[in-house]
Amino acid sequence: MPVSPGRTIRQERSRKTYEALVITGFKLLEKREFESITIAELAGAAGYSVGAFYARFESKDEFFEAMVAHHIRVRLRAHQRLFATASRETLVDAIIGDLVKYYWRHRRFWRAALLRSTNDPEFWAPLNEAAQGFVASLMDRIEKDSGRPLTEQERSNIRFAIHIVFGMVNNRIVNRPRPSLLGHSTFIENLARAFRLVSDYAHLAGSGAAITD
| pLDDT of amino acid 173 | 83
Q: Look at residues 38, 57, 76 and tell me which one is the last residue of a structural domain.
A: 57
Q: Which residues of the chain fall below pLDDT 50? A: 1-9, 180, 207-213
Same domain, 2 and 80: no
Burial of 42 per CB tally in 10 Å (0-12, 13-18, 19+) = buried
| pLDDT of amino acid 211 | 38
Question: Residue 16: which CATH number?
Answer: 1.10.10.60
Whole-angstrom Cα distance, residue 82 to residue 64? 27
| pLDDT of amino acid 63 | 95
Q: From the centroid of its chain, how far is CA 94?
A: 14
Q: Give the residue among 128, 102, 98, 96 at the shortest CA–CA distance from 194.
A: 96
Contact 109, 32 (CB under 8 A): no
Domain count, the chain: 2
21-45: per-residue pLDDT in tens? 999 999 999 999 999 999 999 999 9
Helices 91-105 and 60-85: angle between axes, nearest 10 degrees:
160
Same domain, 131 and 32: no
Q: Give this prediction's pTM.
A: 0.85
Same domain, 92 and 160: yes
Give me the domain span that covers residue 23.
1-57
| pLDDT of amino acid 3 | 40
